[in-house]
Amino acid sequence: METPTHIAIIMDGNGRWAKKRFLPRVAGHVRGVKRVKDSIEQCLEFNIKYLTLFAFGRDNWKRPQEEVSFLMDLLLEQINKEFTKLHDKNICVRFIGDRSRIDKSLVDRIESIEHLTQKNDKLFLSIALDYSGTYDITQAVNKIIQLSPKTAISEKDFSRYLLSYPYPSVDLFIRTGGEYRLSDFMLWDLAYSECYFTTKLWPDFDKTVFCAAMKWFNSRERRFGMISEQL
């Protein structure tokens, strides 16, 4: 089985999962943490090198303050509880997004785990926090204006300024929860991704669903603008 080099996932459906069970929305987020751990283990099992998870989008600040606070507290708890275990598994962890609106105590822990795991190379795990694809492109443009405003750049040059750099473009994009949109996620990196949408809510995204996505990916013919006879 051919495996994608880079998988990116929008983990959608936590709140709806909880609502179906007459639970508070935050119960879905707690359950979703388990699926994050499972997906990391499955990437290790399949020898997938890069995994990017959309944890919190820039538009998610519009959610009720109680839910936003819970999500930030949950992330801090998981960093304190679990992320050193990722280091023990030789996983490199980094966060991509705007840190200016994140509480300093959380930013400090983020920087600590990034420093701790920076030389690991079994799996490269990126967590998108206060992130959007349009923000990523905008901040890249602003960097270019600041550093070399009069120099023309190529597409390859431009990618060096993205938050995902130096990681490769996404091969397989997965969205759970039954929505069929990108929701402003990694717009540049998804240019030639195979996009897999499932109605499974994120807390139900188990190994069976993961393997179904992998099988679907293997059924795709990736032509990158060419025709089948050229491959």
Answer yes or no: are the C-beta atoms of 84 and 116 closer than 8 Å. yes
What letters, b where the CB count within 10 A reaches 16 and e where it falls short, cover 153-183? eeeeeebebbbbeebebbbbbbbbbeeeebe
Query: Any catalytic annotation for residue 184?
Result: no
Of the residues 60, 120, 204, 206, which is catalytic? 60
Query: Any catalytic annotation for residue 12?
Result: yes
Of the residues 12, 136, 171, 189, which is catalytic? 12
Do β-strands 123-131 and 172-175 pair in parallel, antiparallel, or remain unpaired?
Answer: unpaired
Name the residue among 103, 101, 102, 82 with its Cα closest to residue 93. Answer: 82
Answer yes or no: are the C-beta atoms of 23 and 201 closer than 8 Å. no
> What CA–CA distance (Å, rounded) separates 228 from 211?
26
Positions marked active-site: 12, 60
